[in-house]
Structure 1
Amino acid sequence: MKPPPIRVRLTAWYLVVISTALTVSFFAVYFGIQRAIEDTVDTQLEARSDTLIRFLEHYNPPRVAAGSQPLPAEAALGPGDQLYQISDVSGAMLFQSPAMRELQVPLDVNQLYHHYRHHRDQGNFTTYYRRSSDVRVLASLVQLQGNAYRIQVATDVNPFYEILETFRKWSWAGLPLIVCLAGLGGYWLTGRAMKPVHDLVHSTRDISEHSLSRRIPVPAAQDELRQLAETINAMLARLESAFTRVTRFTADASHELRTPITVIRTTAEVILERERSSAELREMVGLILRESESTSTLIEQLLTLARTDADTEQLNLEELELRSLLAELDASSRVLAESRSLQWTMEVPDQPVVIHADQANLRRMLLILIENACRYTEPNGSVRLSLRVQKPEALIEVTDTGIGIPPEELTHIFDRFYRASNARFFDPEGTGLGLPIARWIATSHGGTLTAQSTLGRGTCMAVRLRLSGNE
């Protein structure tokens, strides 16, 4: 089942919290009022009982008249103290108010206590339940001047419980209304709180692949919504950059592939126009072969970059002694340099230099750098390959005395299909993919590839790789 919207879920949680809080508050207030009433009633009964005890101390036993009669004015009872009765231990009634006589509260303490007990009935206190009213009774046994007296004072607690019952009924009737109003208010507030989120959703939804340059508005408040908007804008910037690179890559690849394919097609059409001599056919087929090889190289480079973008190009890392790898490259690099009338030198340290690397990819990176150095260096120039240890890294430098790179173009030479303006003039061939591949190989090994160049004096490509044991 599809989950409800966040607005509904937040409102539901809000209702649960409000309902729980109101219910707990109701019970706390209800029992608090009940406890306060009962404490007040018990305190008043104790005060009234103390008043009657003082009265009996003043009126000694011989002066107390026998028979059921009200207390004289000397007892100093208040207007609401009309529930009392006093007897001796034999049960003979000495003083009894008419209201107490009507309630028929038992003089026998055991009979009184065996009545239904209230939750607060303890000690001398008990609650005497009748059909018409409930009476709270305090029964005391006192010794005065050698005589024992039973004193009972009482209070009708029905008015207090009626107030509690009214409070309970109104509360239970009002709680659902309050919860409903709170739910409506919570739903409205949640909608107000979620409005900026909906605005972000609508703004983001309106951005397509044709409008990646657009950005969603950033709220002025320094809150989570601002962070969300800034995060979405940063993501859009990355998407725009990636989309631009893909578009440019596709356009550049199409452009680079179109030229050799056009040459191959045109040459084939020329061959088929008329009969050709063996020398002409050999020359034209040789041209097709060269263009095919160039196209194959370009396609292989494109596939390599595509795999790196998809992160599917896996490296087989193992311990590698760099001096041995450079020694393998020395002979082929010397032949390449001498074929272009260049001086080749290589400098390596005496001690072993061990790194963790993929030998095939590292060889490929070094060949790219060496071939570029030889290609863009004029005859009688020089190319030097050096290896040094600068702990915790190994430094490989390929330095030439070639044409150099214009300063304003130095930051772009690692972009795909980019070729410096003087490089295109010096050697029209080339794809501009070698250095991007070389940099990817260096960074995938946790290293760096940087370039320093002086226009007209040469270039130095520096590769830094972490030594084994320093990861």
Structure 2
Amino acid sequence: MKSLPLRWRIALWTAFLVALALLSSGLVTGLVLYRELIENTDRELKSDSLEFFNLLAENQNLSLTAQQGLSQNFGNFEESSILEFAPAEKAPLYKSLLLKDKDLFVGHPLESFFYEKLNRSLYRIFYTQKNGYRLALGKNMASLYEILLEASHAYFLSAPFALLLATLGGWWISRKALLPIRHLASILEQLRASALHQRISIPTQDPDLKRLLNILNEMLARLEEAFQREIRLTADASHELKTPLTILKNELESALQRSDVDLQTEKTFLNLYEQVQTLSSLTQTLLFLSNLDRDSSLLKPTQLSIGQVLIEILEDAAILAAEKEITIEKDLADVGSLYADEDLIRRLLWNIFDNAIQYNTSKGFIEVKLRLTPTGHCLIQVSNSGPVVPAEERKNIFERFYRGQNAIGNGIAGHGLGLNLCREIVSAHKGEIRYDVDERGLNQITLLLPLSPNPPRPKKP
């Protein structure tokens, strides 16, 4: 049940509670109805006994020594069955055939109600005495049980409809109640790092939902402040480092061009120059990332043929791949044009292919696929042979400055910014990037990028 959506869980719990309420109310109603019917029966028996004795008083001059005389004088008395009638301390004047050998006057106190099974039927019996006569009146309980049975049938026939109505009603009510939450979830899904300045505004009078919105808006304010502080720190540090690194680079270039520098000093300057180059590249990347985080309007999108861009980048990548005898297999469909920043897309694809070459084996291979998805997205899949990323590292490979064990263990140069840069570029284009290990055990990077609003359909072969 935990895997069900919340609205269905609420609906099922509503149905369960309604079922308990129906069961308990049915039991209580049945008991009350049964008690009321018994009390009515007892009142009828008492009323009939008084009527009988009144009739007896009107006929007091008659002889009641024979059973025939009783039937002649009380033949119209039909409300209750006269089971036994006798003078006090004498033999019965009348005894119903239902009694056979039973004596109802034995073992029961006067003015009492009790049950007796007669001829396979249950009777409610009232034993009373008045004016020197004893009387036992009885009423068959079959009619009472028929009433209870009909009431229970009607109740159990209506219960499933009540449960169905409760389930659907609970689902509808929960859906209406959760509608603001679903609206809130859709808003939060659309929030990106560049949109943390936005605040959530949902018209509602519910105090709990208002409190939730206030908490979320306060959290967004704190996140925006922390994010902006990080961006400023990165941008400021990168900008401040840019000037001294440029000076160092120029000075080292000048030193390397001098003719009076000995070989050992030249090697030292050359090593320092390579490190300065690395630091310059790192600061430029960090500055670029901070600018991209701060302002996505820096993008300069144009219509570009993604297939043509891929072909051009693969031609350059083939040169690097040839050094490790890596073959590149491509399967590029015509997906039309992509509305994107061409420089960033080229940088994105080059980083992916550079990783596919670096984290590969000698005489390995790379597979590149370009497809159009049914949702109108451009799908690019780059698979390569070589050691796969361990499962515990996969969630971190797109994080800034993260380097896995494969990179460290194989001494591959880098700073852990390549895939993070790829993710930021894809995010700026409202796309998706992910890493998987396919069914063949190959590393696979998948890109999903939205095409132009009206992309041309792929050509049929």
The normalised TM-score by structure 1 is 0.49
Q: Which has the larger radius of gyration?
A: 1
Q: State the TM-score, normalized to the length of structure 2.
A: 0.50
